[in-house]
Structure 1
Amino acid sequence: MTSKPLYFPPAPFDLGDALTCSNLVDIAYAMYAQWLQQGKPHDPHCFRWQPPAGASFRFGAPVWGNSQVLAFHDLEPFALVAQRGSDAYAIFRGTESPEDWYVDARCEQVPYQLPNVTDAGYVHKGFFDLYQSLRLAVLDQLASLAGVRRLLLTGHSLGASLAMVGMPDLMANAALPAVSFLQYNLAGPRTGDAAFASLLNSGPANIYRIVNSCDLVPDVPPSVFDDLTCHVLYQHVGDAITFTAQYNSVVGNHDHHASYNYALAHPEQPQGPVPS
């Protein structure tokens, strides 16, 4: 099975940056897998994360988030902060647990209200609530870094939306003077309304949204969303970079490593092997 090569926008887009971000997302997913193997300890002090051997990055401690599912407020490791040279990274993994699916389903919108951010419109309640549970840890870890010239945000699926709702906050509140901001967003759902999209599209950050055209997740929530309680509008943000890779299942088309990471590593032929 063959597919057309990827076409990329001009600089500051950089394929090496995009692939690096995707590789870091793989590390965030591997962190979650280690947490499962250790019996899902909800006390961060009881989780022993082992970063990959030989990695050229300096990693902070796992960043924990609270999915706030009904009466259950268990913590999960969701994010990492890393540094390599003058580049810092905030990395968010995607949906894994039943609690994460509950976050995804909270499609009603709430005002984007965080310190030093104005006119940011409305965003997905589930994504925003989860981000607020982990933002201070991300900000604290970023504040401990020195010599940073660029901050790159990245994530896959739910993680891409966490990176998106985090962008206005980190641009306004991260203690990183004279830093440029980029985002490489993998399979990101819609995250906010037109005002939120306008804020980011007109701001200083360069946001690249990498999408498999066969993947259903980037098409949710719908651009016009109605239920019994609300009527809301959603709009994508940033420059779309699309490829077509058909893996014969919803899960396969959305898979981070086999679909998205493979495409960035093989841009001339982004369709990878289809499982038999």
Structure 2
Amino acid sequence: MAFRASDARDVVLPLAQAAYTVMTGATPTLPSGFSSTALIEADPAHLAALPDPHPAAAMAKNTHIFGLMGQDTASRTAFIAFRGSSDVSDWIADFDFVPTQYSPISGFGQVHAGFQDIYDCVRDSVATNLPAAVRGCDQILITGHSLGAALAVLAAPDIARGMPPNTIEPRLTTFGGPRVGLPDFATAFDAAIECCYRVVNFLDIVPLVPPSPYVHVGAAIEVDSGGAVDVGWRHSLAAYHAGLSALIASQT
């Protein structure tokens, strides 16, 4: 499926934003036709067992809600949206993790151990709620911003092969995501998940970490939000909205 900037801005990005809204207990504003079927909740016991410091600690401040799931019955599309941390500075320095084998699928390559730890905290929630989200659907859209984008990447092959109904290949559109795995994982991922777009804003530093040997999956869609040259703005979903709007304007 070809990348459409208007869909990324008007449908997918609001779903990524909704993943932040629900962490406060507020009701999210979803794109027209979309409804939520479940929240994605981290297992408190799993979180408590992680070493300190850990990127998960930044994500779990005051809440165990890591996103939401749902569907649009008209387009027969289920969605899974993961949030990141509310403050990039809380986690961006916590990259002292060696690669580890991607645990959901044997022989699928190596990934960032810290990111996988976070995914392991929410995997049961996703698996439990997936059947309701995909009921009546023939498409699965997965999205996320920042650390949520890393979770989206880790979830996609697992959902395709390890979680019933195992009959729908997910498609991804993420925003400002970090590198998740080593080249062996990227090769396996790109062979298994044909539609994966990473929207990357100019001067956003998060897509540049962790450093080599970590690499990205999928295809990069570059945008330029303009505005302040600082991490807070360039990495924000508001900046990604501005960057996609500029891309749309340049194409008309």
**What TM-score comes out, normalization by structure 2 length?**
0.82
Match of 1:130 in 2: 118
Match of 1:76 in 2: 64
Match of 1:57 in 2: 34
Counterparts of 1:264 and 1:99, CA distance in 2: 24
Amino acid at match of 2:114: G
Q: Secondary structure at the match of 1:245?
A: coil
Q: Secondary structure at the match of 2:33?
A: coil
Offset, 1:264: 2.3
Q: Secondary structure at the match of 2:64?
A: strand
Q: Deviations over 1:73-123 (max 9, x none)?
A: 875211211100210111011112699628953432211112xx2321111
Counterparts of 1:216 and 1:126, CA distance in 2: 19
| Alpha-carbon distance change, 175 to 99 in structure 1, aligned in 2, over 3 angstroms | farther
Offset, 1:243: 1.7
1:88 paired with 2:70, answer no
Task: State the identity %.
Answer: 30
> Which of 199, 204, 228 is equivalent to 1:210?
199
Q: Which blocks of at least 5 consecutive residues in structure 1 are unaligned?
A: 1-10, 36-48, 224-232, 271-276
Check the 8 A contact 2:142/2:172 in 1, yes or no: yes
Match of 2:190 in 1: 201
Specify the structure having the higher radius of gyration (Cα): 1
Check the 8 A contact 2:225/2:240 in 1, yes or no: no
Which segment drifts farther, 245-254 or 104-113? 104-113
Counterparts of 1:268 and 1:13, CA distance in 2: 12
Match of 2:209 in 1: 220
Counterparts of 1:24 and 1:202, CA distance in 2: 26
Offset, 1:244: 2.3
Counterparts of 2:31 and 2:144, CA distance in 1: 22
Counterparts of 1:122 and 1:235, CA distance in 2: 11
1:25 paired with 2:16, answer yes
Check the 8 A contact 2:225/2:242 in 1, yes or no: no
Alignment of 1:38-187 (within 5 A): 49-52=26-29, 56-65=33-42, 67=47, 68=50, 70=52, 76-85=64-73, 86-96=76-86, 101=91, 104-114=94-104, 117-144=105-132, 145-187=134-176
Offset, 1:69: 5.2
Counterparts of 2:187 and 2:229, CA distance in 1: 35
Counterparts of 2:155 and 2:67, CA distance in 1: 12
Check the 8 A contact 1:148/1:179 in 2, yes or no: no
| Alpha-carbon distance change, 165 to 177 in structure 1, aligned in 2, over 3 angstroms | closer
Check the 8 A contact 1:149/1:180 in 2, yes or no: no
Q: Secondary structure at the match of 2:179?
A: coil
Counterparts of 1:16 and 1:206, CA distance in 2: 17
Counterparts of 1:26 and 1:146, CA distance in 2: 24
Counterparts of 1:244 and 1:23, CA distance in 2: 19
Decide which structure has greater helix share.
2
Q: Which blocks of at least 5 consecutive residues in structure 2 are unaligned?
A: none
| Alpha-carbon distance change, 216 to 103 in structure 1, aligned in 2, over 3 angstroms | closer
Counterparts of 1:249 and 1:206, CA distance in 2: 30
Match of 1:8 in 2: none
Match of 1:15 in 2: 5
Q: Give the paired residue count.
A: 234
| Alpha-carbon distance change, 82 to 222 in structure 1, aligned in 2, over 3 angstroms | same
Provide the aligned C-alpha RMSD in A: 2.7
Amino acid at match of 1:61: A
Check the 8 A contact 1:92/1:160 in 2, yes or no: yes
